[in-house]
Amino acid sequence: MTKAKSAMLICIASVCLLLIIGFLIVGIAEYADERRGGANTNESSPPGEIDESNIADAPTDEPTTDMPTEPQTEPPTEPPVTEPPIVLPELKMSLTEPSMSLIEGETQTVQLELIPSEGSDASLLAANVSDASIATASISVSDSGTPEMTVAAKAFGTCTIDIAYNGSVLVTVAVSVAEDYNPGTPKPLPPAPVHDDIDPDKPMIALTFDDGPGNYTDELLDILAEYDVRATFLVVGNMIKGREDIIKREIADGHEIGIHTWDHTKLTTLSPSEITEEIDSVRREIRRLTGVTPRIVRPPYGSTNDDVKAVSVAEGFLIVRWNVDPEDWKTRDAQATFDHIMSHAKSGNIILCHDIHKETVESMRLVIPALLEQGYQLVTVSDMLQYSKTEPVPGQIINKQ
Ligand SMILES: [Zn+2]
């Protein structure tokens, strides 16, 4: 019995103690609330409760009839908020790839679609640009709930846009902004790579290869390395993807890279801004891969007009054509290519070939040793121009036929 009594007493004492502690906590909490400054009270007070310090700071014309008449006896208790987990929707865009190319001052709009559209809240979409000095982006949602992103290009360079849904990134879009065509500020011609192993008194020929890099370019580079000679590659921008190592090897092996436009478009059908972008897009890619800025451009089909010449002056590059055309792309015959080149071999010639054809690369196994045998030095176009002592200027067409 005494044991049971003691246990009951301990129980009652414990309950009393807990009650005292409870009252103390409530008292401290209320005291703390009263002491807190007015600035934060709006965030912590539940609606309907007004802090005294807030009232003191309130403008005088604010109605004071909302003052609570009952004393605040209970500490603020807010029910725990449990938000439902957000399921990220899929984002579809009107872009075929998550990349955009713009010209300074240009604005492009991209249609966006959330899947599923049911239950997805387009207003939760946001576009965050990595460098706002290059481009800005904003997302707007039509009354029917269709979202779209508007990108405005500000300055030359590259940046990325993260398209996020409720803070989670769904897609990252790579943005590249080209310089606007501005004939008022011509760029200087990039420096020529220096090769001082050339004898200016000996005959020289420039072998040039268009339309690559292709499936046989590596083999051609092996042949050029075997004979320790240099050539010039006029590359097409959309051929580079997946063949970046070939571009790097061309520069590492001492060859020259020129530009043959991004997608082999006839430049005379384009506006000056479009011509600039066709050339500048390849120049940026070569510079990104190799650190070297190309200085020569061969327009597809050799087609030039006053706009191409004006862009050449503005952008600082040389327009290079050819004066020997073995029509290797037409004959697709290594022997015929060899015969044509050898019958037109002359110092100062620029020979047009295509490294995307197997037969052309095969013909080089014959052409290169035969030209060396006749005493020719095989050099890059820029080497030839440098040693010809009549370095042309942008806007001038080299080897106009
Ligand atoms: Zn071509």
Same domain, yes or no: 266 and 360: yes
Ligand 1 center to residue 233 CA distance, Å? 11
Same domain, yes or no: 266 and 138: no
d(Cα 160, Cα 317) in Å, to the nearest integer?
A: 29
Is 32 contained in some domain? no
Same domain, yes or no: 277 and 389: yes
Same domain, yes or no: 148 and 295: no
Is 237 contained in some domain? yes
Same domain, yes or no: 220 and 255: yes
Is 276 contained in some domain? yes
d(Cα 141, Cα 119) in Å, to the nearest integer?
A: 15
Domain harbouring 129, CATH code: 2.60.40.10
Is 37 contained in some domain? no
Strands 232-235 and 397-398: unpaired
- Residue 378: domain span: 204-398
Domain harbouring 336, CATH code: 3.20.20.370
Is 361 contained in some domain? yes
Of residues 224, 228, 165, 238, the one with CA closest to residue 198: 228
- The pLDDT tens digits of the residues spanning 355-382 come to 999 999 999 999 999 999 999 999 999 9
- The pLDDT tens digits of the residues spanning 107-148 come to 999 999 999 988 889 999 999 999 999 999 999 998 888 899
Question: Mind spelling out the 3-state secondary structure of the chain?
Answer: CHHHHHHHHHHHHHHHHHHHHHHHHHHHHHHHHHHCCHHHHHHHCCCCCCCHHHHHHCCCCCCCCCCCCCCCCCCCCCCCCCCCCCCCCEEEECCCCCEEEEECCCEEEEEEEEECCCCCCHHHEEEEECCCCCEEEEEEECCCCCEEEEEEECCCEEEEEEEEECCEEEEEEEEEEECCCCCCCCCCCCCCCCCCCCCCCCCEEEEEEECCCCCCHHHHHHHHHHCCCCCEEEECHHHCCCCHHHHHHHHHCCCEEEECCCCCCCHHHCCHHHHHHHHHHHHHHHHHHHCCCCCEECCHHHCCCHHHHHHHHHHCCEEECCCECCCHHHHCCHHHHHHHHHHCCCCCCEEEEECCCHHHHHHHHHHHHHHHHCCCEECCHHHHHHHCCCCCCCCCEECCC
Same domain, yes or no: 213 and 276: yes
Ligand 1 center to residue 362 CA distance, Å? 19
Same domain, yes or no: 239 and 106: no
Ligand 1 center to residue 234 CA distance, Å? 8
Same domain, yes or no: 353 and 217: yes
Q: Which of the two residues, 395 and 44, has the higher pLDDT score?
A: 395
Ligand 1 center to residue 230 CA distance, Å? 20
Q: Which residue has the tokens 């070569």?
A: 286
Same domain, yes or no: 244 and 121: no
Residue 177, Cα to own-chain centre: how many angstroms? 8
Ligand 1 center to residue 264 CA distance, Å? 6
Tokens standing for 254? Answer: 């001492």
Ligand 1 center to residue 210 CA distance, Å? 5
**What is the per-residue pLDDT for 131?**
93
**What is the per-residue pLDDT for 50?**
41
Q: Which of the two residues, 142 and 179, has the higher pLDDT score?
A: 142
Average pLDDT value for the chain: 85
Of residues 53, 120, 59, the one with CA closest to residue 86: 120
Of residues 333, 349, 353, 342, the one with CA closest to residue 384: 349
Is 2 contained in some domain? no
- The pLDDT tens digits of the residues spanning 31-64 come to 555 555 444 434 444 444 444 444 444 444 444 4
- Quote the Cα angle for 287-290-296, to 5°: 55
d(Cα 334, Cα 363) in Å, to the nearest integer?
A: 4
pLDDT band with cut points at 50, 70 and 90 for residue 73? low
**Catalytic center residues:** 210, 354
Is 138 contained in some domain? yes
The residue from 131, 162, 178 where one domain ends is: 178
Same domain, yes or no: 258 and 379: yes
- The pLDDT tens digits of the residues spanning 195-250 come to 889 999 999 999 999 999 999 999 999 999 999 999 999 999 999 999 999 999 99
Q: Which residue has the tokens 């020569």?
A: 296
Same domain, yes or no: 279 and 139: no
- What percentage of the chain carries pLDDT values higher than 70? 76
Q: How many folded domains does the chain comprise? A: 2
Ligand 1 center to residue 269 CA distance, Å? 16
Is 23 contained in some domain? no
Ligand 1 center to residue 260 CA distance, Å? 7
Q: Which of the two residues, 30 and 325, has the higher pLDDT score?
A: 325
Specify the range with the lowest mean pLDDT, choosing from 95-99, 300-304, 321-325: 95-99
- The pLDDT tens digits of the residues spanning 263-318 come to 999 999 999 999 999 999 999 999 999 999 999 999 999 999 999 999 999 999 99
Residue 76, pLDDT above cutoff 70: no
Same domain, yes or no: 160 and 266: no
